[in-house]
Amino acid sequence: MPPAKAGRWETDGSQPVRQADGPTTGGTGPASAQEALSRATTHLLSLQSSEGWWKGDLETNVTMDAEDLLLRQFLGIRDEELTKATAEWIRSQQRDDGTWSTFYGGPAELSTTVEAYVALKLAGDDPGAPHMQAAARHIRDSGGIAATRVFTRIWLALFGWWPWERLPEMPPEIMFLPRWLPLNIYAFGCWARQTIVPLTVVSAHRPVRPAPFALTELHTDPANPFPQRPLAPPTSWDGIFERLDKFLHAYHRRAVRPLRRVALAQAARWIVERQEADGCWGGIQPPAVYSLIALHLQGYELEHPVMQAGLAAFDRFTVHTEDGMRWLEACQSPVWDTCLATIALVDAGVGADHPALVSAVDWMIGEEITRRGDWSVRRPSLAPGGWAFEFENDNYPDIDDTAEVVLALRRVAHPDPGRVSGAVGRAVDWNLGMQSKNGAWGAFDVDNTSTLPNKLPFCDFGEVVDPPSADVTAHVVEMLAEVGMAGDPRTRRGVQWLLRNQEEDGSWFGRWGTNYIYGTGSVLPALVAAGLPEDHPAIRRAVRWLEDRQNADGGWGEDMRSYEDPKNWAGRGDSTASQTAWALMALLAAGEGPQGRANPAVERGVDWLVRTQLPEGTWDEPQFTGTGFPWDFSINYHLYRLVFPVTALGRYLHGTPGIGTLAGSLPRIGAAR
């Protein structure tokens, strides 16, 4: 096991913890802040690629690595060298109690531990070894394989370690459901539908590859390894859907074969049509692995170009460590990282015409998506214009990235302003067209708010719908204000939604970052940009909440457990560079700090950033502060620890950018409709 990082307290996960002081790089005050900002800015500039983009590693958990080995075992392509390097990484992430968690310092997670254990057994680890015995003991004590999530048991079913009959059924005939029915594939969030469609193919085939070993040691009762759970009351949603699942199992045995063949062919065609230029699906791991399995079951040989491109995509998601280990990113974030880095550098005082920024704008404009994707199902007449998160994901541009890219483009003095304004105009129109009927914005789709998909027995892991959220809505509102549309009725509807959805304690819930600090750090700059006065009651309540949540060391932090237990964890946890920066960005926007009201909380937060900066100019941040699915899937964006402190320090020293910072170089975008 790797040693604990110096200067941090260990925790058993029962209570919030405070982080001890990190490296000291200087005293307090503007001079020290300027020195810290200069180091950080230099370091950030050094990380830019020759093509103009930035991309930090995107770290999740070892299920990515375990499932990669299981996929290769299923397809018959697993090799020993790759297996050894992956197993070394999985072992390095095991905790002292033998388990694995889904985020740094988090509690043990059963399904993750099962998948890691199976992967290590594939790699040849002896079940009698102490680290394997400890993992197996925890698995049994936690309910065994029978207590794992559905997706884990699907992987086990592929090798006969779990019976398909004991898994929820999802038939490929779902492809035929009209779009007005609540459980059609477009009722699911884009990431969920991309995963569910291939899994309907897998579920229909129910393949079983020869198991290389048994897993009897992971059952609580080897004599009854596949217990049947009692049905919930028929008057409950769980009971209704469990009985529907029984009907679907019966249908599986009696499916009309011609209809089933047509459904499978349509699902396979749907999958192939959505393969991206880089061979991946949706730019994320789950659709990619299940799509490869599904297409292989439909007769696509490994030599087929679709399969070859899909397998090759995983090489681009692979991170090789200096000590010979290998791990996989669940996704890659170059567009997101590049727009955030661009904003940060301009806020830090880098010239708006700096070659690095012009190069970043050129790259971002080249990544604009100009064709329709799944979002057009609900908006068929809306013209395309926006950006995705990844290098290649033309089917699924997202509203959040698009808003932040516009903010970045507006900050740079590009030699071809007409080219920039054209991209900005298309993006603004697309974002406005993606506004949900309640006035807010989700991440990928419009009005994707049905709660029924989450109730399916199949969907027991993570969010499967994409409702509007405060953080995405705030970024769009801030972008609309920047392009001169603060008074537009659609912007005002977004503002009103944000005000209605403020938490009682004054914070906002963050869907795509952790969590209430992220939500509040997103909303306050947006509200001020949209014209709310700094003394507005909602802004004052948020300021008081942030002041109350500041740690004793001067920083801010929030543990992922706030998604599950906000009472004890909202705004509580180890101080981190990214979350301290979010809090500072919110306070500075609200008029706190050197350009407004003198606020000791701001000075202490800046002091924390100065004191904990590393010599190379970045910060140590093993904590996970990004979110895929609240609580279920957590992310450590390795660039967050740098871009957000640069933004916060820059705004502390130079002021929060005003509305229309570069309004003179670009035309006003959009007119009230």
Q: Provide the pLDDT confidence category of residue 462 given band limits of 50, 70 and 90.
A: confident
| DSSP conformational letter for 111 | H
- Clarify whether residues 578 and 477 are in a common domain: yes
Intra-chain end-to-end CA distance of the chain, in Å: 60
Output the pLDDT for position 238.
84
Residue 114 pLDDT: 98
Q: Which residues are catalytic?
A: 400
Is it the case that residue 251 has pLDDT exceeding 70? yes
Calculate Rg over the CA atoms of the chain. Answer: 25
378 and 256 in a common domain: no
**9 domain-assigned:** no
* Residue 658, pLDDT above cutoff 80: no
At 522, list the tokens: 């997103």
What are residue 386's phi and psi, to 5 degrees? Answer: 170, -175
CA–CA separation, 551 and 612 (whole Å): 14
CATH code of the domain in which 247 resides: 1.50.10.20
pLDDT at 28 over 70: no
- Amino acid identity of residue 275, one-letter, is Q
DSSP code, position 628: E
pLDDT of 670 above 70: no
Domain boundary among 290, 305, 328: 328
Domain identity same for 179 and 318:
yes
Q: What is the mean pLDDT of the chain?
A: 92
Distance in angstroms (rounded) separating the CA atoms of residues 36 and 608: 11
Residue 305: CA count within 13 A, CB half-sphere:
5
pLDDT at position 595: 84
Calpha distance 557→582 (Å, rounded) = 10
Is 510 in a helix, a strand, or coil? coil
Give the least confident one: 16-20, 52-56, 131-135, 626-630.
16-20
**Same structural domain, 440 and 361:** yes
Let me know whether 322 and 341 are in one domain: no
Sequence-separated contacts (24+) of 241-250 with Cβ below 8 Å: 241/455, 241/456, 241/457, 242/457, 245/168, 245/169, 245/457, 248/169, 248/170, 248/171, 249/165, 249/169
671 within domain boundaries = no
Please compute, for residue 66, the number of CA atoms within 13 A of its CA located in the half-sphere on the CB side. Answer: 24
| Contact by Cβ (8 Å): 507, 516 | yes
Confidence of residue 638 (pLDDT cuts 50, 70, 90): very high
What is the rounded CA–CA span in Å between residue 599 and residue 634?
33
pLDDT at 317 over 60: yes
Asked if residue 384 has pLDDT above 60, the reply is yes
Phi-psi region of 538 (alpha: psi -120 to 50; beta: other; left: phi over 0): alpha
**Does 612 fall in a domain?**
yes
Q: What is the pLDDT of residue 662?
A: 35
Where do runs of H (alpha helix) occur along 550-635? Answer: 566-569, 577-589, 600-612
Residue 151 has pLDDT above 50, yes or no: yes
Let me know whether 578 and 449 are in one domain. Answer: yes
pLDDT surpassing 50 at residue 395: yes
- Residue 370: which residues within 8 A CB-CB, separation 6 or more? 384, 385, 426
State whether 40 and 100 are in the same domain. no
Beta bridge partners of 448: 466
**Would 606 be classed as within a structural domain?**
yes
Do both 276 and 380 map to the same domain?
Answer: no
CB 124 within 8 A of CB 143: no
State how far the Cα of 22 lies from the Cα of 557, in Å rounded to an integer: 14
* Residue finishing a domain among 328, 353, 377: 328
Residues 398 and 496 in one domain: yes
Instruction: From 302, 328, 354, give the residue that closes a domain.
Output: 328
3 state SS of 439? coil
H or E stretch including 629? strand 626-629
Query: In total, how many domains does the chain have?
Result: 2
Quick one: what percent of the chain has pLDDT higher than 90?
84
Strand partners, 59: 636
**Does residue 445 sit in the same domain as residue 538?**
yes
| Residues 6+ positions from 626 with CB-CB distance below 8 Å | 58, 512, 513, 514, 634, 635, 636, 637, 640
* Predicted pLDDT at 232: 87
Whether 18 maps to a domain, the answer reads no
For residues 543, 546, 547, 548, the Cα torsion angle rounded to the nearest 10 degrees is 120
pLDDT at residue 199, rounded to an integer? 96
**pLDDT in the model for residue 341:** 98
pLDDT given at position 13: 36
pLDDT in tens, 217-246: 999 998 888 888 888 898 888 888 888 889
With CA atoms as reference, report the closest residue to 450 among 442, 631, 458, 402.
442
The parent domain of residue 612 ranges over 30-58+331-456+466-654
Q: If we measure between CA atoms, which residue out of 467, 419, 463 comes closest to residue 445?
A: 467
19 in a structural domain: no
Alpha helical stretches, state H, 30-141 = 30-46, 63-75, 80-92, 110-122, 130-141
Domain co-membership, 372 together with 324:
no
Averaged pLDDT, 462-477:
95
| pLDDT computed for residue 466 by the predictor | 95
> Can you tell me which residue has the tokens 């609309």?
480
| Core vs surface per residue 161-189: b (16+ CB within 10 A) or e | bbebeebbbbbbbbbeeeeeeeebbbbbb
**186 is written with which tokens?**
């477009």
Q: Are residues 483 and 576 in the same domain?
A: yes
Whether residue 217 lies inside any domain: the answer is yes
Identify whether 125 is part of a domain.
yes
For 500-523, write each residue's pLDDT tens digit.
999 999 999 999 999 999 999 999
Rounded distance, CA 354 to CA 646, Å? 17
The DSSP bridge pattern shows strands 626-629 and 633-637 to be antiparallel
Pair of tokens at residue 214: 């048994």
**Weakest mean pLDDT among 249-263, 556-570, 607-621, 647-661:** 647-661
